[in-house]
Amino acid sequence: MRIYVCVKQVPDTSGVVAVNPDGTLNRASMQTIINPDDLSAMEQALVLKDATGCQVTAVTMGPPPAEGMLRELLAMGADDAVLISAREFGGSDTFATSQIISAAINHLGVGKDDMIFCGRQAIDGDTAQVGPQIAEKLNLPQVSYAAEIEKVGNDVTVKRMLEDGYMKIKVQTPCLITCISDKEKKARYMTLNGINHCYEKPFTLLNFEALKDEPLIELDKIGLKGSPTNIFKSFTPPVKGVGVMLEGADKKTAETLANILLEKHVI
Amino acid sequence: MAFNSADISAFKDIWVFCEQRNGVLMNTDFELVSEARKLANERGSKLVGVLLGHNVEGLAKQLGGYGADKVLVCDHPELEVYTTDAYAKVLCDAAMELKPEVILLGASNIGRDLGPRCAARLNTGLTADCTHLDIDMNNYVDFLEKSSTLDLSNTKFDMEDTNLKMTRPAFGGHLMATIICPRFRPCMSTVRPGVMKKAPFSQEMSDKCVVEKYDVKLAKDDIKTQVLDVVKEAKKMVDLIGADVIVSVGRGIGKDIKKGIELAEQLTEAFGGGVVGGSRVTIDSGWLSADHQVGQTGKTVHPKVYVALGISGAIQHKAGMQDSELIIAVNKDETAPIFEIADYGITGDLFKVVPLMIEALNEARASK
Ligand SMILES: Cc1cc2nc3c(=O)[nH]c(=O)nc-3n(C[C@H](O)[C@H](O)[C@H](O)COP(=O)(O)OP(=O)(O)OC[C@H]3O[C@@H](n4cnc5c(N)ncnc54)[C@H](O)[C@@H]3O)c2cc1C
Ligand SMILES: Cc1cc2nc3c(=O)[nH]c(=O)nc-3n(C[C@H](O)[C@H](O)[C@H](O)COP(=O)(O)OP(=O)(O)OC[C@H]3O[C@@H](n4cnc5c(N)ncnc54)[C@H](O)[C@@H]3O)c2cc1C
């Protein structure tokens, strides 16, 4: 049994987000982190590894420096790591991204007992589309918004969150599951032993050459040019004009406000 | 054979996937149908609601009342409860056969599961969680002028362009992107709940709406997942999205939480009724339940009046409320970012200011 965990390196949007004048993101000026939902997916995989001794493979598509993130995941407990990286893959939308990642996973092989875990959503692109699209391309059943995963034999039971409750869903391996983060279930830290050995663990680089003949890849549908969706314009929302600051915090101010609201027919 | 999505002239009509749970349509369906009506008018095309479920035909006419010309009813016992496999098969089969130009879905936990699965099967693009849609280029340019900081004086737009222009926030609301899908059809988009405005219901349009049954082909082994249980969490739903007045509280109520929430409730009453919301801090601290949260990871709201009490105005909070028609903020720190988007701001201790506001509002209303 092998669990592939798809992990994306993302800019930390909770800190300062720098936007270039042309509306693109100034990535160079930002910290990168492991996408939070993906950390949660990795933790769920490692819990299953603790219980069953299965193999956990971290997979990312990204520029070469993403290797650093993969080494961290190896130090946390992943058994091996795969970096999918090529200029031709750059600028892919979710359709193209999922095509490339599914081709890579297919290249490595999906066995009867295997699973693929994704995060539900990456905090930069924010689409939550890559997981279900990989599942479709690999023709696997999917369960998204997973909060809990249990596995007995080939049966996997997932607690799948809805806005107003949840579903319990049973699915057989091989399957794909997208995980949501949970404050209660924090990802484990790297261990000292893990850090010492993370450079000895198997590390595979899949470049354009390695994947271009994979049946799942349509060469005219990858990268910036091939992606079905294109960014037509990007922009920063305007700062709404500063309104009226009412002087003082007394009864008179409150009355002024009430009168304005009355005049504007708000009350 | 892979579906040919590149023959774009073969596609017409605008479809809205209408989600129902337990035989009840979602509010988003009405928002989406209302918005899609405008798009269908801009495009001069037909608007079709697509309704999947079991024994749901009776719901179809409701969708007509918000603008659907036709509702395609896909009825099958296996569609009673949502499964990705069954819903994706039926929606994709129908789309492959009938070739809509546009498919819109609500960006609910179900729409965001179904949308990408279908887009991948239909060999087309999907734009996530949109907050604004245009077909007509004039309308789009107007929108950019109002809602962006771009200097458009040197930009040439193709005014004949009929691609759906789908605008969405990314990077946690720091950036807006307009996405197009020019080479493939259908053009697909999930749309954020609570953002599009619901049109008034029209009985006349509802009566005119054509209800058509689609011949569903579904076998048990098309469905690889089994739903063991559907659990509704029993809680009073806080209707933030439908509220005209929202008074939200933040960490600023910390020194007397009970009193702070009470004041917020009284203030909604002074406005003639409304709902109490909260920043994420109030939810994470357990002061309010999760359904009160406004913001990027909570609800997006646009009430007539939004009052922020003791909320600093972090970008993630603003993302959920900055399109409110009128924003009033009370904060003891005059540099709090919330004042940058407030129409009216008062610097002061909310525990002192809010009682005065309640009194003044009550008096003003009495004097009407
Ligand atoms: C402003 C902006 C808006 C965009 N809007 C759209 C859009 O509407 N539609 C569209 O198709 N594309 C869009 N894109 C492109 C999209 O962001 C990229 O394709 C991105 O590589 C993947 O999408 P995501 O970040 O949304 O991932 P999500 O789909 O949110 O990611 C879900 C999960 O998939 C896995 N995953 C995603 N990417 C990788 C990766 N590179 N390596 C390994 N695992 C991964 C992770 O497990 C992740 O948690 C947009 C890009 C930008 C900059
Ligand atoms: C990925 C991500 C998603 C997020 N999603 C959301 C979201 O959906 N919604 C959300 O709200 N936040 C969200 N946040 C959190 C957000 O960044 C802020 O931390 C949060 O909004 C701050 O809440 P606050 O304004 O209540 O608290 P603070 O920022 O601590 O502000 C408290 C304010 O109260 C004022 N104050 C204190 N005492 C008084 C008093 N007596 N009278 C008047 N004013 C007083 C202070 O001056 C201060 O401005 C998210 C963060 C991340 C990283």
Nearest to B116 by CA among A93, A35, A183: A93
Nearest to B100 by CA among B160, B48, B176: B48
Which residues, 6 or more positions from A3, have their beta carbon under 8 angstroms from its beta carbon? A45, A48, A49, A54, A55, A56, A57, A114, A115, A116, A117
The reply to whether B8-222 and B240-367 are identical in fold is yes
Residue B279, ligand 2, Cβ within 6 A: yes
- Hey, where are the domains in chain B? 8-222, 240-367
Looking at the structure, give the CATH architecture of the domain made up of residues A2-226: 3-Layer(aba) Sandwich (3.40)
pLDDT in tens, chain B (368 residues): 689 999 999 999 999 999 999 999 999 999 999 999 999 999 999 999 999 999 999 999 999 999 999 999 999 999 999 999 999 999 999 999 999 999 999 999 999 999 999 999 999 999 999 999 999 999 999 999 988 888 888 889 999 999 999 999 887 667 889 999 999 999 999 999 888 989 999 999 999 999 999 999 999 999 999 999 999 875 556 778 778 899 999 999 999 999 999 999 999 999 988 999 999 999 999 999 988 999 988 888 888 899 999 999 999 999 899 888 899 999 999 999 999 999 999 999 999 999 999 999 999 988 87
CATH class of domain segment(s) B240-367: alpha beta
Give residue B235's pLDDT: 52
Record: contact B345-A246, CB cut-off 8 A:
yes
Q: Which ligand is nearest to the CA of B319?
A: 2
* Ligand 1 centroid – CA A93 distance (Å): 7
Give residue A29's pLDDT: 72
- Please identify among residues 276-295 of chain B the ones whose CB lies closer than 8 Å to any CB of chain A: none
Q: pLDDT category, A197, cuts 50, 70, 90? A: very high
Residue B278, ligand 2, Cβ within 6 A: no
Of A11, A23, A229, the CB nearest to B181: A229
Mutate to test the pocket of ligand 1, among B179, B183, B189 (most ligand atoms within 8 A of CB): B179
B361 touches chain A (CB under 8 A): yes
Nearest to B84 by CA among B59, B123, B112: B112
Is the model's pLDDT at A155 over the cut of 70? yes
B359 and A257 in contact (C-beta within 8 Å)?
no
pLDDT one-digit tens code per residue, A35-93: 999 999 999 999 999 999 999 999 999 999 999 999 999 999 999 999 999 999 999 99
> Quick one: which atom of ligand 1 is closest to the CA of B166?
8
3-state secondary structure of A181: coil
If you measure CA to CA, which chain A residue comes closest to B125?
A228
Encoded amino acid at B293, one letter = Q
CA-based diameter of chain A, in Å? Answer: 75
Q: Which ligand is nearest to the CA of B348?
A: 2
Give A215→chain B minimum CA distance, Å.
Answer: 13
Is the model's pLDDT at A175 over the cut of 70? yes
Q: Can you name the CATH fold of B8-222?
A: Rossmann fold (3.40.50)
Q: pLDDT category, A22, cuts 50, 70, 90? A: low
Nearest-angstrom CA–CA distance, B175 and B250: 25
Nearest-angstrom CA–CA distance, A78 and B277: 42
Record: contact B230-A167, CB cut-off 8 A:
yes
